[in-house]
Structure 1
Amino acid sequence: MRLGLRLFLGFFLIVGLAAFFVMRVFVNEVKPGVRQAMESTLVDAANVLAVMATEDMKAGRIASGKFVRDLEVARQRDLRATIWQFPKRHVDYRITVTDEKGIVVYDSEGRDLGRDNSRWNDVYRTLHGQYGARSSPLVPGDRENTVMHVAAPLRDGNRIIGVLTLSQPNASIDPFITASQRSIMRQGAWLIGLSALIGLLMTWWLMRGINRLNRYAQAVSAGERVPPLPSRRDEIGDLGRAVETMRRKLEGKAYVEQYVQSLTHEMKSPLAAIRGAAELLQESLPEEDRKRFAHNIQTQEQRLTETIDKLLALAEVEQHGWLQKLEPVNVASLLTESGEDVSAKLAASGLVLSVDVHDQQATIQGDPYLLRQAVSNLLDNAIAFSPAGGTISLSSSTVDRYIEIRVADEGPGVPDYARDRVFERFYSLARPSTGLRSSGLGLPFVREVARLHGGEAELTSLEGGGALATLRLPKV
C-alpha cells in the first residue's frame, strides 16, 4: 500500500471514528436532555397553576370554580402554533388535583375522580413536603408510550391542603427529539466529508514533498548531478538538507580519506617496530636480546590486532543511525556482567573492583551487547591507568531523567591538554605502567554507543587524583 494512501486512510479513520462517536454521544444525549428541559418547564407551570387553584381549593369549589372554568377555556383554544416545522393546535397538559389525603377531586379529563393517588410518587412526596414527580406508562404495560407527571403543593399558610399534578405525554416531544437527532447526523456527515477533503489535501501536500525528496535521493544514488531541493521550513526540508549534506560528504570523500590517513599513521609505528626487531633477529644475538625483540614483535602485533578489532567495532557502530536492537536492560545486571568481563584483567593487575548500584530495579532501553561493551571499555581504560593495588569504583545512580553509570580510578587523571581530545579517534595517552599507548578507539566507541541511546559520555579528573568516566543514558 502506498504511503499516501496509508496517510489518508489513517487520518480519515481517526477523524471519522472520532466524529462518529461524538455524534453518537450527542444523539444519545438528545432524548434525556429534551425530557429534562420539559420536566423543568412542567415544574414551573405546575407551581403557577397550584397558586391559581389554591383559593378554589380552600373554598371547596375546586371542581366548579373559576380555576376549572379558565382551564376549560384554555383547552378549547386553537393554538395555531408551528414549532420547528411541527404544528401545535391544542394544549397537551392534563391536570389532576388531589386533596390532603391524596384523593382525586378534579381531573381535567374526568377519568380518575375519587381515586386514591396517595401512593403515587408525585402525590406522596409532595404531601410530605418534597419534590414529587414520576414517569409512568400511558397504558399499563406499555413502556414505549409514557407520561411525565410533576406535582406542586396547594398551601393554606404552611399547611398542605392538596396537590396539583401536571402531566404531559412524552410522545408530544418525540418529533422534536427525532428532528434534532437527524440534524446532528446530517451535520456530522458534512463534518466527516469535510474532514476527508482536508485529509486528502494534507496527504497530497505531504506526498508532494516526499515524492520530490525520493526522486532527488534516487538521482543522487545513481550518480546524477541534480540541483538541491527547494527550501522548505519543515521536517521534509530538514531531511532534504541532510541528504544534500550527505551528498557533499560522499562526493568529497573527506570522511574516508581522514579515516584511511589516521589508520595509516597509527599502523606505521608498530609496523616499523616489528620490521626493526625482525631485522635484528636475523643476526646472532644474545639470548636475552633475542627474547626482548621477540616480545617486542608480539607486543606490536597485539597492538595492531587490537586497533583493527576496535576499528571494525567502531565503524559498525558509527554506520548505524539508530539502534538495531531495543530491549529493557537492567542496570544492576549490566554492571555485574561488565565487571565479570574484566575480572581476569583486574586480577592480573592486582586491582579491586567496587560495584555500587543505587537502584536495583533501574532499567534502560537499548542494545544490551553494545551497552556491555561500552561499560567494559570504560573499565579497560580505568585498569590501564590505575596503580597496582588500587581500587576501581563502578556505580550507577538516577539523575533527573537519566541513569548515570560512573567508572572512577585512582590513576593520574586527565591532563588539561588532553581533556578536549580524549574522545577523538586514535587519540591516546601513554599508560603509566608501560609508557605505551592504546589504539585510541575505546572512548570513541563509548561515545557512539551513548549517542545511539540518546545519551552522552564524558571523562573528567577527580579532585585528589584519578579520573571519572560517566556514561549518561535515558531511563525507561
Structure 2
Amino acid sequence: MILAKKSRLSRLLRDILLVNFLPLVLIFAALLYLDQYQQGLLAAEVSALREQARIYAGAIAETAVQNNNGQQTLSPDLAQPLLYSLTEPTPNAQALIYGPDGELIANSRVHPGAGGAIVTEPLAAPPPPGLFSRVISFIYDHLSGSVTGSGDESGMVGSSAGKNPNTLGWQPDARTVLQMTDTGGSGSAQETPPFVRRDQQGVLLVTVAEPIQHGQQTVGTVLLTREASEVDAAVLAVRISILILFALALALTVIVSFYLSRTIASPISRLAAAAERMREGRAGAQTLPKPITTRNDEIGTLARTLEGTSQALWSRMDAIEKFAADVAHEIKNPLSSIRSAVETLARVEDPARASRLLAIVTQDVGRLDRLITDISDSSRLDSELSRSRYEIVDMARMLATLAEIHDATRKEGFPFMEVDAPAAGLLVRGSETRLVQVLRNLIGNAISFSPENGKIFLRGRETGGLIELAVEDEGPGIPDGKLDSIFDRFYSERPESEQFGSHSGLGLSISRQIVEAHHGRISAENRRDDTGHVIGARFVIRLPKAGG
C-alpha cells in the first residue's frame, strides 16, 4: 500500500511538472528563433560594410586608374598606398583589390615601411571570449541547432574552407567573385551576396565585394572584410538574458510544482488512503487530520465530506448491528413461548388446559407475524424512499380525509376526532402513501391511550417555511424521561387494558424514519393545563413546505 501511495504521488507530481513545463518549453522554443535578431544585426553590418566598400571602390577608380595602351587598368603603385590610407582608421578591417583577371593588386595590410621596406601588418588579435561566454554560446548554438535543424549563423553564411594566416580568416575565391560581379555586357555590375563565416578562433567575419568601375568599364574588384564582434556581443547579451530568464522560470516552475504537489497531490493521496482503509473495513469512522479538514478549498470540502460519509456509514452499520440484535431478541421471546407451549402440550391431557396452550401458541404466532411484517417494512423503508418519486401532497386534505374515515368507522366508546387546519394549502413534497402511514401510526397510538369517548385533535398550520402537523390526545401522557426513547425500535409502553403483543414497538420508529427521509422532524411532548398537570400527549411533525 505504501508503494502504491508513493506511486500515485509520483504520478501526480510528474503530471504537475509536465503541465507546468509545457508552456515553458514552448516559450523557450519560440525564443530560440532569436536568429532573426542576429540576422537583422548582420544585415545592418553588411549594409554599412558594403557602403564603405563602395566608397573605397569610388576613390580607387578616381585615383589609381591609368591608361595603358588604350586600356584602363589599375596601378598597383597608386592603389596600394591609397588602400592602406583608406583602411587605416579601421584596424579590424582588411581590404583586397583584384584585377579583372583575378590577380591580387593591393592588400591593405601591406605597406611601405621605413627605408622603403615592405611591411605586412598583422591584425590585432581580438581578446579571446571568456569561459562563460563560450559555454553560453555552445549551449545556445547546440539547442538552436537541435530545434531549428541548423547551427549556421544565418542564411548568408559561406564556405569556410581554405584558411590564410596572412588575412582575416578565409576570403572568397577571387575568380568566383569576379564571375558574380561580371556585367555580362550590360554595363552595370551585379551586387554580390555577402560572405559571413567564423575563423579558427571563432571570430565572426563579414566580407563584401564591390566592383571598381571607371566610366563604363570594370577595372577591378574590392573585397572588404571586417570583424563583426559587436554582433556577437549584442547576441550574447540577449542570449544571457534569455537563459537567465529561463533558469528563473525553470526554478519557479519546479518550486510551484512541488508546492502544488504538497498542497494538492499529498492531501489527495491521504484521502485516497483513508478511503481505501474504509473500503477494506480495517478502521472505524475515519477522522482525517485537521490541516486537511480545516482547509477552505475544494480539498477541504472533499475531506470533510469523506469524513462525514465515513461517520454516517459506520453509524448506519452500528444501527444495523443493533437492529439485528434487537430483532433476534424480539423474535426469540415468542419462539421460546411457542416452544414451551408445544412441549407442554404434548404432556397435557386436560382439554381445557390444552386449549389455553393452543391459544397462547396462536397469540405468539400472530405476534411473530406482526413483528416480521413491521421488521420487513422498516428494513426496506430507506431504499424504497430513495427510489420513490416525490409529488406535491396537500396535508390539510389528508387530515380531513383521515378524520372522515375515523368518524365513518368509529366504534362505540372510541374517541372523537376534531380537525383544526385550513381546508387546503398545507403543501409538502413527498410520498403520499408513507405520510399517510405516519399519521395513521400516530392516530392509532392516540386511540390506544385515549379515554372512553375522549377527543383526538388533528392540527395543521404553516410556520416559517414549514408545515407543522400535530396529533393530540387526552390520555395519560408520556413519562418525561421517555419523550425521545419512545421512537427507539421495539420500545413499547402500552396501556394495561391492551392485549400483550398486539403491537411490535416499531410504529413510532418507522414514523421517524419516514419523516426524516422527507427532511423533516418528529417530536413528542406532553399537553399540560394551566396548573401544569398532564392532560394528554402531543406528537408534532415539521416538514419543509413545497417550493420553499
TM-score, structure 1 as length reference: 0.49
TM-score, structure 2 as length reference: 0.43
Tell me which structure has the larger Cα radius of gyration: 2
